[in-house]
Structure 1
């Protein structure tokens, strides 16, 4: 746990202590929520897709923002990120504020539970829209309950938010970015889906396999087996990442099926492992398979 808490980097500014993007323990998150000064409390965002789960119980002061409201079909391709104006309206409605800390969480259980991907996707969207103060609650709601911290059924609506003036578009990739960068020296393209989908052994996708040249690294390898919302310390994953060719000196291009799994892998590499150059292909495999002028591959690639 010490290694995870260490991912919470504190920066002293003229206005006090400000946290950067990372992971926070439930105990530390609860202390922030219980700050006697409401102006200094963080914004708490419950990203779960099931609204009834929110009704059953959630963190105190949590505002429900269903992760999937940030996506929709575009030009026939499902679950694409919404246009900027719509996304901004949703984030402002959720109370996202450039001057506040944001605590993000969902549920964590054994696979096939993957709701941590809801939290990492929303964290990615906030980061892209310029928010710099984001913490994912390590272990999610199950770890929160395990620590016997308070849960409520009371609704909490944040006041309208204020987004940063400048977006952080450098963390995003489109198809042209991927095609122009992959295969170059020092660049690694990595598929965060389960291995069977990477190899095309699935019933899900219009076309089978992966983007040619991509290596495979399933996002779940970074999480604890008994809680898919709980991050393994970097010291426990470093050898596996290095064996896959995912090292801090590389330019890493991440994708998956719909960008949720990729958002988790990118979050870990960037904000837990502290790799400097990691970006997410937002269209991911769902978009790539619709672009039939580009080939798919089913043979496994190894680290160079």
Structure 2
């Protein structure tokens, strides 16, 4: 079975469409933000998948099928046995390598980021799945290059999985509270500078977690080509806050644990392995009055 990089190109994937060890997942969800703040509108990408997807791909709805139905917040990690069952039923297990893609971050927003794909990849890695990649540029880039599409649903045989959960990849609210006072932990807010400074109405309380630094998830890719920036440009953003220091731990957060996984992916790509995602992110933090927020940088 081929060992794959964290991020693969459209050319790379097209050459391997007939590989029996390859599993492709369309993780598309659609999210539209209201003009004046408040909760977003979210819906499944299953209908869009049925209209055309990469040959062989199966669709996975990470909101409906891979989030904890008992959680007060959307997009939270479900029970492990539930997640493993969903993945193995889909045909993903010990003998497969997986490429995940989506159709973009936000409806009507030009920001290039595969954070639906990175969220699923992060969840899989957290549960111990390995050999997982994100498709650079996702379906929009694939379509722009006139690569093959199909409306025929993908299908993989049910398989087995023997990996172990990597608990160090998920940060809890209490861990984030401790990190605020820990010089050996870097907290990264992945939201926009406006959200970071508390200038938007996106959340019930404004601002960011004390001591956290802002690295906006939307700056890591070229908005025209949909390609991820070269390593030198990526490094520049993180080196400013010492996030690539191998002796430091990094915790990323955003609004709901989505963009934070995209940031974590970029850090992993640059060699920083000690990265955790605060799964609850601001959706959880702002609803607890004991959790502080600040607006100054």
TM range (shorter): 0.7 to 0.9
Give the strand-richer structure, 1 or 2.
1
| Structure-1 separation of matches of 2:111 and 2:238 | 23
Matches within 5 A, 1:112-191: 112=110, 116-191=114-189
Q: Over residues 59-83 of structure 1, what are the superposed CA-to-partner deviations in whole Å (9 max), with x where a residue is unaligned?
A: 0100000222222464533432222
SS of the residue aligned with 1:223? coil
Q: Over residues 110-155 of structure 1, what are the superposed CA-to-partner deviations in whole Å (9 max), with x where a residue is unaligned?
A: 8345661100000001101111110111111122223332111111
Match of 2:91 in 1: 95
TM-score (norm. length: structure 1): 0.85
Residue pair 2:113, 2:262 contacting (<8 A) in 1 also: no
Match of 1:71 in 2: 67
Match of 1:31 in 2: 15
Matches within 5 A, 1:12-23: 17-19=2-4, 22-23=6-7
TM-score (norm. length: structure 2): 0.86
The alpha carbon displacement at 1:158 in A equals 2.1
Q: CA RMSD for the aligned pairs?
A: 2.0
Match of 1:12 in 2: none
Name the count of aligned residue pairs.
278
| Structure-2 separation of matches of 1:195 and 1:148 | 35
Residue pair 2:104, 2:114 contacting (<8 A) in 1 also: yes
Task: Quickly say closer, same or farther: Cα 1:79–1:104, change in 2 above 3 A.
Answer: closer
> Gaps spanning 5+ residues in structure 1: where?
1-15
1:244 aligns with 2:229: no
